[in-house]
Amino acid sequence: MIADVQHALKEMIYSEAALPRDALDVRFAAPTSAWVSGLTRPTLNFFLHDLRENTGLRSSEFMHSYVSGGQRRDLAPRRIDLKYLVTVFFKSQVDELGRDEWNVLWRVLAALMRQDDWEEQYVPPAARDLDVGVLGVIGQPEGQATQGLFSSLGLPVRPHLNYTLTVPLNLNVSELSPLVLERRLEFRSGLQEGAAAGEGVVRSSWIIRDGLGRPVPDALVRGAGARGFSGPDGVVHLAVAREQVRDLDVLTLDGQILRLPAHSAALLPQLTE
């Protein structure tokens, strides 16, 4: 994820700050004094010096999705803060194009502040697949901490930005709950063991899908004298035992009437849109 985010950050900076790709490099190195002395081109550098979880954005909720055979629950991604020291290095204060390092830093500042919540076009696919965005914040000067960082790199303190990117981390924690197709409840009297207080309550569940495997919501479903409406996930519950259902009569929201054999697992043929 870090490599993907840094590649996306590089493309976003070139685009949003209107920096010349043929005259200025964007790199992600530890800017030691030896590294700086070896530069041959103007360079904008993002030095990743710290990463930690953003506990303020932590979520313990599970995301639900229906898969073949049941319901899948995935733990929401954690959010990780990537902290960067942003600096610009030229061999002199003014390069051959007349753009000095302070001007570049100013353009970068405007670009990063404009993209505090990254536009979708800049979000890397790995984060987009998790349906979680990327957040960027320009931090306040960190005083002694930043001075210590420059000292450890062997550099004098120079104009810089403190930039924090918040990106998702998938912990791959998930569980699968099998679909309950039938449920039987039986009530017994506590006065005499084994004596039934009433008849059992039976319920069977079915998933109504179209020919493309998509759930069919809001359909009226009848079977063996019982009826019910399918929910947004295509699941319908009927107050009848599964073995009693031979056919399901389905009335879709757009007026189609279909009869489905129960042994077909309630899979609808493709509907006409």
Rounded Cα distance, 93 and 99, in Å: 9
Give the range of the structural domain holding residue 118, as residue numbers without chain letter. Answer: 2-56+76-168
For residue 20, the tally of other CB atoms under 10 A from its CB is 12
- Domain shared by 140 and 198, yes or no: no
Least Cα distance to 81 among 122, 48, 110 occurs for 48
Last residue of a domain, one of 134, 168, 202: 168
- Domain shared by 155 and 186, yes or no: no
- Domain shared by 198 and 98, yes or no: no
> What is the reported pLDDT for 189?
59
Strands 161-169 and 78-89: antiparallel
Least Cα distance to 45 among 87, 105, 91 occurs for 87
262: exposed, middle or buried (Cβ count in 10 Å: 0-12, 13-18, 19+) = middle
CA angle 42, 45, 49 (to 5 degrees): 160
The SS3 assignment for 132 reads coil
pTM of the complete model = 0.60
Tokens of 89: 């290095």
- Domain shared by 238 and 153, yes or no: no
> What is the reported pLDDT for 105?
92
Q: What is the CATH number of the domain that holds 223?
A: 2.60.40
- Domain shared by 132 and 80, yes or no: yes
CA angle 66, 69, 71 (to 5 degrees): 35
Rounded Cα distance, 134 and 123, in Å: 6
Q: What is the CATH number of the domain that holds 97?
A: 3.30.2000.30
**Phi and psi of 243, rounded to 5°?**
-70, -15
Tokens of 248: 């399901």
Helix (H) or strand (E) holding 250: strand 247-251
**Phi and psi of 39, rounded to 5°?**
-70, 140
Q: Look at residue 244 and tell me if it is in a domain.
A: yes
- Domain shared by 132 and 216, yes or no: no
Q: What is the chain's pLDDT, residue by residue, as a tens digit (273 residues)?
A: 889 999 999 999 999 999 999 989 999 999 999 999 899 889 999 999 999 999 888 877 766 666 565 666 777 888 999 999 999 998 754 444 445 788 899 999 999 999 999 999 999 888 888 888 899 999 876 667 788 889 999 998 888 999 999 999 888 776 666 655 556 666 665 555 555 455 556 778 888 877 777 788 888 888 888 888 888 888 888 888 888 888 888 888 888 888 777 665 444 444 333
* Structural contact between residues 235 and 209, judged by C-beta atoms closer than 8 angstroms: no
Last residue of a domain, one of 114, 139, 168: 168
- Domain shared by 201 and 119, yes or no: no
